[in-house]
Structure 1
Amino acid sequence: MTAARSGARRRRSPAFLIGLTSIALLLFTGFCALGVWQVQRLAWKRDLIARIDARIHAAPVSTPASASQADEYRRVTATGTFLHGKAALVQASTIRGPGFWVLTPLRRADGTILFVNRGFVPDRRAAYNRPYGEVRVTGLLRLTEPGGGFLRANDPAADRWYSRDVAAIARSRNLAAANYFIDAQASAARGYPVGGLTVLRFPNNHLQYAITWFALAAMTVAGYIIVMRQTGKDRRP
Structure 2
Amino acid sequence: MSPEPAARRGAFRTLAAPGIATLVCLAILLGLGTWQLTRKGEKEALIARIVERSRAAPEAPPAPAEWQPARDEFRHVAVAGRFDNGAETLVHGLAPGTVPGRARQGFYVITPFKRDDGSVVLVNRGFVPTELKRREDRADGLVEGETTVTGLLRASETRGAFVPESDPVKGEWFTRDVPAIAAARGLGAVAPYLIEADAAKAPGVPATAWPQGGQLRVDLPNNHMQYAFTWFGIAACLIGVFAVFAWGRLRAR
- TM-score, length of structure 2 as denominator length: 0.82
Partner of residue 64 from structure 1, selected from 62, 65, 77: 62
Deviation at 1:25, TM superposition (A): 2.2
- What is the identity, as a one-letter code, of the residue corresponding to 2:76? R
Q: Is the counterpart of residue 156 in structure 1 residue 182 in structure 2?
A: no
CA distance in 1, matches of 2:55, 2:227: 30
Structure 2 match to 1:75:
76
Q: Is the counterpart of residue 187 in structure 1 residue 200 in structure 2?
A: yes
1:131-170, CA deviations, whole angstroms, 9 ceiling, x for partnerless residues?
A: 1211110011111102367331222222211111111111
Partner of residue 39 from structure 1, selected from 37, 40, 45: 37
Deviation at 1:29, TM superposition (A): 1.7
Partner of residue 109 from structure 2, selected from 102, 107, 110: 102
Deviation at 1:193, TM superposition (A): 0.6
CA distance in 2, matches of 1:148, 1:53: 25
Q: Would the aligned equivalents of 2:197 and 2:214 in 1 still touch at CA under 8 Å?
A: yes
Deviation at 1:221, TM superposition (A): 1.4
CA distance in 2, matches of 1:12, 1:122: 71
The range that moved more, 21-30 or 193-202, is 21-30
Q: Would the aligned equivalents of 1:90 and 1:101 in 2 still touch at CA under 8 Å?
A: yes
Q: Would the aligned equivalents of 1:149 and 1:163 in 2 still touch at CA under 8 Å?
A: no
- TM-score, length of structure 1 as denominator length: 0.87
Task: Name the SS of the counterpart of 1:61 in structure 2.
Answer: coil
For residues 194 and 209 of structure 1, do their structure 2 counterparts lie closer, same or farther at Cα, with a shift above 3 Å needed? Answer: same
Q: Would the aligned equivalents of 2:163 and 2:174 in 1 still touch at CA under 8 Å?
A: no
- What is the identity, as a one-letter code, of the residue corresponding to 1:95? P
Partner of residue 219 from structure 2, selected from 198, 201, 214: 201
CA distance in 2, matches of 1:172, 1:222: 61
Deviation at 1:125, TM superposition (A): 2.9
Q: Would the aligned equivalents of 1:146 and 1:163 in 2 still touch at CA under 8 Å?
A: yes
CA distance in 2, matches of 1:33, 1:154: 41
For residues 151 and 198 of structure 1, do their structure 2 counterparts lie closer, same or farther at Cα, with a shift above 3 Å needed? Answer: closer
Q: How much is the aligned-residue C-alpha RMSD, in angstroms?
A: 2.1
Q: Would the aligned equivalents of 1:142 and 1:182 in 2 still touch at CA under 8 Å?
A: yes
For residues 88 and 149 of structure 1, do their structure 2 counterparts lie closer, same or farther at Cα, with a shift above 3 Å needed? Answer: farther
Deviation at 1:46, TM superposition (A): 0.8
1:172-203, CA deviations, whole angstroms, 9 ceiling, x for partnerless residues?
A: 11222111111111134331010111112222
CA distance in 2, matches of 1:63, 1:186: 19
Structure 2 match to 1:169:
181
For residues 163 and 148 of structure 1, do their structure 2 counterparts lie closer, same or farther at Cα, with a shift above 3 Å needed? Answer: farther
Matched residues, percent identical? 39
Deviation at 1:207, TM superposition (A): 1.0
The range that moved more, 19-28 or 226-235, is 19-28
Deviation at 1:12, TM superposition (A): 7.3
Q: Is the counterpart of residue 121 in structure 1 residue 128 in structure 2?
A: yes
Q: Would the aligned equivalents of 1:148 and 1:154 in 2 still touch at CA under 8 Å?
A: no
Q: Would the aligned equivalents of 1:69 and 1:143 in 2 still touch at CA under 8 Å?
A: no
1:194-225, CA deviations, whole angstroms, 9 ceiling, x for partnerless residues?
A: 01111122222211111111111111112112
CA distance in 2, matches of 1:41, 1:148: 22
Q: Would the aligned equivalents of 2:11 and 2:250 in 1 still touch at CA under 8 Å?
A: no
- What is the identity, as a one-letter code, of the residue corresponding to 1:135? T
Task: Name the SS of the counterpart of 1:37 in structure 2.
Answer: helix
